[in-house]
Amino acid sequence: MSDPTTVTPLRGEPEDALVIAGVPLASRLFIGTAGYPNQAILRESVQASGAEVVTASIRRVSLQGHGSDTVRILKGKRFLPNTAGCETARDAIVTAELAREALDTNWIKVEVIGDRETLYPDVTELLEACRHLVDDGFVVLPYCNDDPIVCQRLEDIGCAAVMPMGSLIGSGMGIANPANLELICRRARVPVVVDAGIGTASDAVIAMELGASACLVNTAVAKADDPVRMGRAMGRAVQAGRDAHLAGRIPRRGRAEPSSPQLGLVGS
């Protein structure tokens, strides 16, 4: 019998499988590993969420094999190292190369921050870094702003997915610009992973209903009063949102419309 505290990843029809760079993924939730009260809660939260892909900053992973034991306690998960803290294309490229050496993976989440207050990406530096890393054989998943044109440019240079922000990193503000996000999802020919700003399960549902392929969450789980319970909620949320997107919502109307027929009522 499966663990009732763990989300069983949604395994839909084969044509609806989430595939990135030829790799099928069982869960549409990606989860971060920073900021948890302790490593035991991190492990339990990731397990409860059902997430298969976990992100980690390469600056917190020791190349000598000591220090953080995140890799050890999450053995079996697919690690997506990121270039968090980088402010130039050069720094991001060097960090990605270190990540490939440290974690033996060519998958990389590319972050190039242009503003320390908002943590908005520097688009020019981001495009340069991604172009170089794609040419160097990396599977590149860039964190970017919710701009359809930027996402298109990243797709054009060969990124395996795009990761537009829902809102400011760590803000918990949810999906700030649903119209742009829906447009990005509708146009993209690669998976769209909503990254940053998700604060609770309903935010993840909205992102998935707009057509996102997956959601990445960190602070919303790590800083929740009960991270394990929130991890489980997030796993269920992305499943519910994906199902709702595929099912198709009813149109919004400015008037009431009865669900039961009006003919044949008693007294009519």
Residues with catalytic roles: 109
φ/ψ of 215, rounded to 5, equals -130, 145
Kind plus residue range of the DSSP H or E element containing 207: helix 201-209
Distances (CA, A) of 120 to 143, 188, 196: 9, 21, 11
Nearest CA to 106 among 81, 76, 131? Answer: 81
Question: Is 240 within 8 Å of 205 (Cβ atoms)?
Answer: yes
Nearest CA to 220 among 9, 84, 18, 30? Answer: 30
Give dist(CA 186, CA 55) in Å, integer. Answer: 26
Sign of CA dihedral 200, 36, 99, 144: positive
Grouping H, G, I as helix, E, B as strand and the rest as coil, residue 55 is strand
Angle (CA) 32-33-35 rounded to 5° is 110
Sequential DSSP letters for 86-129 = --SHHHHHHHHHHHHHHHS--EEEE--BS-TTT--B-HHHHHHH
Angle (CA) 90-157-84 rounded to 5° is 40
- Residue whose token pair is 């959601």: 215
